[in-house]
C-alpha cells in the first residue's frame, strides 16, 4: 500500500506532509477511514484468514472471525456535492441591472440571510474601505452585541465565542471536532457569502486578492509563520457606494432581521 499526499494539485512526500501537519495543525494525527477507500464487496472472510496466516498477524485473524460472523461494514454512500463557488468566480450579471433604489427595495422585501449579508457588506464598506468577509463578520457581530439591540439567542452569534477580553471571535474547527458550531457553518458566514454573491451579480462589489502569512488565530513557531494563504478583500464599486449612502437606516434593518432569527424554546428542548 502506498499513501499519497496532496495540497490542492501539489503532491507531497510523507516527510513534507508530516512537517506541514506538525507546523500548522492543532493535532499531529490524521485519521483515514478505510470505508472511504475500500470496496468491501470485493473481499470475504476467507481471504482475510489467508492474509492473516501469510502475514502471521493475529489481529487480522480476529478481524476475519468478526467479519465472518457480522459481515463487512457497508460502504458509505456519498451524496454528490455542488462545487462551492470561489469569491473570484462570482461575476456581474449584466442582464440583471438594478438601480440603487431597486437594490435596496429588493433586499428589504426579502426574508433571507442573503439580504442581511448584503446589508452588512454595504454598511461595513460604505467609506470606500476594503475588508475580508471574516473582518466584516467580526466587526458586525461585536457591534450587534455592544449595541444590545439583538437577543443573545440570535443566530448571528452562532459560530462565535468570547475571548479573554470579552470580544467575540470566530470559532475555528480543530482536527476531529464537530463543525456544527464553527464559524464556517454559521448563519453569519452563510449570510455574507450569499450577500456577496447578490451584490456581485448587481456589479456593486469587487474583490482583491492578497496574501497573508502565518495565522492570526494562534501563536506559531518561526517555520509555521512562513506558511502563506490567499485571502480576498471586498470593496464597493461606485454603484455599491451610492447604494450604501442611500440606505440611511441599514443598521436598523440589520438589527431587526437578526432579531427575527432567534432560537425558540422548542429548539432548546430538542437540542438538550
Would you state the cell numbers that stand for residue 198, as one nine-digit string?
A: 447578490
- As a whole number, mean pLDDT of residues 76-83 equals 52
Contact (CB, 8 A) for 214 and 220: yes
pLDDT score for 18: 73
Query: How do residues 182-201 score in pLDDT, each as one tens digit?
Result: 898 899 999 999 999 999 99
- As a whole number, mean pLDDT of residues 231-251 equals 95
Mean pLDDT score across all residues of the chain: 79
Return the top range by mean pLDDT from 71-80, 94-103, 113-122, 162-171: 113-122
Query: How do residues 199-230 score in pLDDT, each as one tens digit?
Result: 999 999 999 887 766 555 555 455 545 556 67
Q: Which residues contact 16 (CB under 8 A, 6 or more apart)?
A: 5
Task: Identify each DSSP E strand in 97-248 by its residue range.
Answer: 131-132, 160-162, 168-170, 205-213, 228-236
pLDDT score for 73: 58
pLDDT score for 237: 95
How far CA 212 is from CA of 229, 235, 241, 243, 253, in Å, comes to 5, 18, 27, 30, 33
Contact (CB, 8 A) for 236 and 195: no
What pTM did the predictor assign?
0.62
- Burial readout 45-82 (b: 16 or more C-beta within 10 A, e: otherwise): beebbeebeeeeeeebbebbeebeeeebeeeeeeeeee
Return the top range by mean pLDDT from 46-55, 71-80, 106-115: 106-115
Amino acid at each position: 500500500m502506498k499513501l499519497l499526499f496532496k495540497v490542492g494539485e501539489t503532491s507531497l512526500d510523507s516527510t513534507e506532509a508530516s512537517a506541514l501537519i506538525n507546523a500548522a495543525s492543532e493535532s499531529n494525527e490524521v485519521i483515514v477511514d478505510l470505508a472511504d477507500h475500500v470496496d468491501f464487496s470485493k473481499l470475504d472472510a476467507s481471504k482475510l484468514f489467508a492474509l492473516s496466516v501469510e502475514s502471521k498477524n493475529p489481529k487480522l485473524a480476529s478481524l476475519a472471525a468478526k467479519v465472518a460472523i457480522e459481515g463487512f461494514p457497508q460502504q458509505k454512500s456519498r451524496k454528490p456535492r455542488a462545487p462551492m463557488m470561489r469569491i473570484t468566480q462570482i461575476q456581474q450579471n449584466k442582464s440583471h441591472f438594478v438601480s440603487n433604489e431597486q437594490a435596496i427595495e429588493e433586499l428589504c422585501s426579502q426574508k433571507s440571510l442573503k439580504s442581511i449579508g448584503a446589508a452588512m457588506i454595504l454598511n461595513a464598506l460604505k467609506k470606500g474601505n476594503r475588508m475580508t468577509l471574516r473582518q466584516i463578520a467580526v466587526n458586525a457581530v461585536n457591534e450587534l452585541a455592544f449595541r444590545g439591540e439583538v437577543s443573545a439567542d440570535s443566530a448571528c452569534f452562532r459560530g462565535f465565542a468570547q475571548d479573554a477580553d470579552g470580544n467575540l471571535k470566530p470559532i475555528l474547527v480543530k482536527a476531529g471536532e464537530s463543525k456544527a458550531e464553527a464559524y464556517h457553518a454559521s448563519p453569519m458566514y452563510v449570510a455574507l457569502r450569499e450577500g456577496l454573491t447578490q451584490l456581485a451579480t448587481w456589479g456593486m462589489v469587487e474583490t482583491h486578492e492578497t496574501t497573508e502569512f502565518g495565522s492570526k488565530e494562534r501563536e506559531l513557531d518561526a517555520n509555521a509563520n512562513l506558511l502563506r494563504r490567499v485571502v480576498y478583500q471586498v470593496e464597493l464599486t461606485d454603484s455599491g457606494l451610492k447604494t450604501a449612502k442611500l440606505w440611511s437606516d441599514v443598521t436598523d434593518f440589520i438589527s431587526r432581521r437578526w432579531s427575527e432569527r432567534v432560537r425558540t424554546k422548542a429548539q432548546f428542548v430538542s437540542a438538550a
